[in-house]
Amino acid sequence: MENLIKELVTKMADDALILGHRNSEWTGLGPIMEEDIAFSSMAQDKIGHAWALYRILQEMGDGQDPDQFAFLRAESEYKCCHLTEMPIGTYEFSLMRHFLFDHAETVRYNSLLESGFVPLQQLAKKVKGELKYHTLHADAWVIQLGKGGAVSHAKMQAALDSCFPLACGIFEPGPDDAGLRDIYPGEKVLQERWIDNIYPVLTKAALNIPENVAPAYGGRYGQHTPYLHALLEEMGEVFRQDPAAAW
Amino acid sequence: MVIFNRKKMNTIKDIYDSLEKVMDPEIPVLNVLEMGMITDVQQDEKGIHIKMIPTFSACPAISVIKQQISDTVSKDLQLPVDVTVDPAIQWNSNRLTETAKDKLRGFGIAAPPIHHGEINADMLLHVTCPHCGSDNTFMRSPFGATLCRAMHFCRQCGMMFEQFKPLT
């Protein structure tokens, strides 16, 4: 049971860390200043959530220091999904990824409000309120750009088509989700709730969820896209120079 | 001869008086009590134990605030102080005191309204402008200069302003 909880917390933390790092790559590059600030702020939130989750792991015993755990693991020990690993690409790709991911986070943390694992239940109360601003931001832009004329709509639909199979990989089933039933409802249930949440927004934006997609699985079991390797190299470059340094 | 160097007895009130001097580094007109960041103050034979909570979980000021609390209170009361983050209580914007909200407005930042567990669109779309008092405003972005602030625009006076975000 304890190992299953650790798996769950690790994949949540790694998703937040890696997407937080990707969001931070928009700093200075946003298409307008407000979006530059928004992606930078969301990066900060994500890294904060990752840190809180790594702290939970540490406090579960035999845990490592959050910084060491975040920066010094082998690539195959990261449990992030492929969606978070992809380069920032175009603005519409990053926006769509943020929309799909933050709605997934919302259903996940809402379910954790009733978790039998107290540290996750306490953290969920905190994160839920913060995520409200992420989905508010994502929904407003997805609807505005989905309805923003033919070129804009086509770009948003293409972004949804490429992000959706990756986003389904968020819900790759764990090794024993049934064994965690007192902790969270399992990936299958979360995915159904996620569809219920994103569908009305996508409808308002006149965007269609692609059918018959092959979910991008593998990340939860340490199989990653080539993009993760490059990201980890860059993210840990300074840290690895002196892992014992005090910051 | 009477010896007057008897150690002064601290009271919990002395600790609170000292905490009033610790300002939020990102909003320097508010102290940590007005921000609603202090959740518990205890004193025992080992020293003073203070529990606090950050406004946002990724608040970068948290370690600075902890250090300032520790430095200020230990200097004032001449006792060891430990400051820990309280995992059991989550900060929400209803914890800001009324004094805090008045000071925020004076500082040019709109205050969050009291919420009842949910943030609705009205709380974000027509925030009263702290410069001219008009409600003819709109939210430009839910993200601003710090995690706890959003950017708004006032159609009446044509000024940008910030709001301390309502948070559940």
**Interface contact flag, B147 A122, Cβ < 8 Å:** no
Q: Is residue B22, in this structure, part of any structural domain at all?
A: yes
pLDDT at residue B147 in the model: 86
Going by pLDDT thresholds of 50, 70 and 90, the confidence category of residue B6 is very low
Position B58 confidence tier, pLDDT thresholds 50, 70, 90: confident
User: Sheet holding B47-52: strands in order across?
Assistant: B38-44, B47-52, B81-85
End position of a domain, from candidates B85, B109, B130: B85
**Residue length, chain B?**
168
B60 touches A at CB < 8 Å: yes
- Residues B16, B80, single domain; the answer is yes
| Contact with chain A for residue B144, Cβ under 8 A | yes
- Looking at the structure of chain B, the number of domains it has is 2
A41/B165 touch (CB, cutoff 8 Å), yes or no: no
Same domain as B129, residue B78: no
The span from the CA of B154 to the CA of A116, in Å, is 46
Q: Quick check: ipTM above 0.85?
A: no
Confirm whether B5 is domain-assigned: no
Asked if the C-beta of B56 comes within 8 angstroms of chain A's C-beta atoms, the answer is yes
Report yes or no on B1 lying in a domain: no
pTM (two decimals)? 0.91
Q: What is the pLDDT of residues A144-160, one digit of tens each?
A: 999 999 999 999 999 99
The answer on B79 and B109 residing in a single domain is no
User: Do residue A44 and residue B58 have CB atoms under 8 angstroms apart?
Assistant: yes
Whether the per-residue pLDDT at A50 is higher than 50: the answer is yes
Q: Which residue of B has its CA nearest to A50?
A: B58
pLDDT of residue B8: 55
Phi and psi at A16, nearest 5°, equal -65, -40
* Tokens found for residue A139: 């929904």
B81 and B145: one domain? no
Q: Is there a domain that residue B3 lies in? A: no
Q: Show Cβ contacts of residue A219 under 8 Å, excluding neighbours closer than 6 positions.
A: A11, A78, A79, A80, A81, A82, A84, A85, A169, A172
Percent of chain A with pLDDT over 70: 100
User: For residue B88, which residues of chain A lie inside 8 Å, CB to CB?
Assistant: 122
- Beta carbons within 10 angstroms of residue A201's beta carbon: 18
Q: Which domain holds residue B44?
A: 12-85
In terms of domains, do B16 and B77 share one? yes
Q: How far is CA B23 from the centre of its chain?
A: 8
Any idea which residue has 């860059």 for tokens? A234
**Cβ contact (<8 Å) for A119 and B87?**
yes
Sort strands B47-52 and B38-44 into parallel, antiparallel or unpaired: antiparallel
Average pLDDT of the residues of chain A: 96
* CATH class, A2-240 region: mainly alpha
- Assigned domain for B123 exists: yes
Q: Measured between CB atoms, does A229 come within 8 Å of chain B?
A: no
Question: For residue B5, is pLDDT > 50?
Answer: no
Does B56 contact A130 at a Cβ distance shorter than 8 Å? yes
Question: Residue B40 belongs to a domain with what CATH number?
Answer: 3.30.300.130
b/e B108-138 (16+ beta carbons within 10 angstroms → b): ebbbbbebeeebeeebbeebbbbbeeeeebe
Residue A141 has pLDDT above 60, yes or no: yes
Is residue B100 situated within a structural domain?
Answer: yes
In a domain, B2, yes or no: no
Which sequence spans correspond to the domains of chain A? 2-240
**Domain match, B43 and B20 both:** yes
